Structure 1
Amino acid sequence: MEFGLIAPMFIAILVATIEIGMLEVISTNLDTAVMAAARKIRTGQSDRPATAAEFTTLICDSMIDDPADCRGRLAISVQKMSDFATAQSAANTAPAGQFDSGGPGDIILVRATYRWPLVLPMYAGNFQLAGPTEALLDARAAFRNEPYA
């Protein structure tokens, strides 16, 4: 009898703990994937992405989520900025899909948001919600391109 009363709460806490853990893993994975993709732009590598679709693919190939699902959940922007103050003020806006990787010495702002489905949205903790059943994970990077030739 006591187990019947306690079991639903125990299962909800267990699922919420697993879900928050998954959110942390996906968030860290997104940060790492965005930084690796941004590094190709920053260093001027020969295989750097030239379009928003290539940049999205580069990020999704590094994510632990299915690449097809990733492309539907990921929104990115890569913009050339005039200075770091402008980049800082623009960092909190939502990505709009534009792609301008600039050239040597340019300041670039990379923004990525990723929608992750939730099982128990009321336990999402400090994560921003994108809707009633989705968390919105963010990754941002601002840097000056290296003086590549």
Structure 2
Amino acid sequence: MSRKAALFRIGRDERGATAIEFAFVAPVMFFALMSLLEIGMLGMMSSGLDNAVVETSRLLRTGRDEGATSADAFEIQICERIGGRYASCRDRVTVGVQRFTRFSDANAVAADQPDGQFNRGQAGDIIVVKVNYRWPLMTPFLATAYGREGPMEVTLGSRVAFKNEPYE
């Protein structure tokens, strides 16, 4: 067999072509699947955080005895309602509960980050509850691909403003 005929035969051989094509497509496909899963998890976590903040804030709004009396107690109540690993929740959550006399004053600080202060106010006071939760991403390898160092995480925020009920 001549050298030219051998090269021609090798050039027409298509065995293994599918495996090579899959090797090119697989990383993109797996990235897309992981991204969809990640977006779903973020949506569920954001909804769970909002629900936990509303339920825990209701204890403050109604003046219930089991309502938190400190920022630490408020964090504990939030983490109990979020579910999951309690210890990691406490490391990731930041709260702030502020008292105001007018809604316009409360509106001015609603977008600020929670600072750990806690003032549940009295009956008739306006309260703004701010909670942030740092959620670690499942796809941290993307950070290193773009030269970013450190943990990859997203901060989920939940805000509630209300006027305390006349519970006195």
- Which residue of the partner structure matches residue 34 of structure 2? 15
Instruction: Identify, as 1 or 2, the structure richer in strand.
Output: 1
Distance 2:75 2:45 in 1: 16
CA RMSD of aligned residues (A): 1.6
| Matched residue, 1:63 | 82
Give the corresponding residue for 2:46.
Answer: 27
Cα deviation, 1:26-59, whole Å, max 9, x if unaligned, reads 1000000000000000011121111111100000
Q: TM-score, normalised by structure 2?
A: 0.80
**Candidates 117, 129, 136, aligned match of 1:98:** 117
The SS at the match of 2:128 is: strand
The correspondence of residues 1-149 of structure 1 with structure 2, limited to 5 A, is 1-120=20-139, 133-149=152-168
SS for the counterpart of 1:147 is coil
SS of alignment partner, residue 78 of structure 1: strand
Secondary structure, aligned partner of 1:53: helix
Superposed displacement of residue 122, structure 1 = 9.6
Q: C-alpha displacement at 1:84, in angstroms?
A: 0.7
Aligned counterparts of 1:115 and 1:41: Cα–Cα separation in 2: 24
One-letter amino acid of the counterpart of residue 144, structure 1: K
Distance 2:165 2:141 in 1: 44
Identity %: 42
The structure 1 segments of at least 4 consecutive aligned residues displaced by more than 2 Å after TM superposition are 119-123
Aligned residues: 142
Per the alignment, residue 128 of structure 1 pairs with none
Displacement of 1:119:
2.7
Aligned to 1:113, the other structure's residue is in SS state: strand
| DSSP 3-state at the match of 1:28 | helix
Q: How far is the alpha carbon of 1:64 from its aligned partner?
A: 2.8
Q: TM-score, normalised by structure 1?
A: 0.90
| Contact 2:93-2:134 at 8 Å conserved across structures | yes
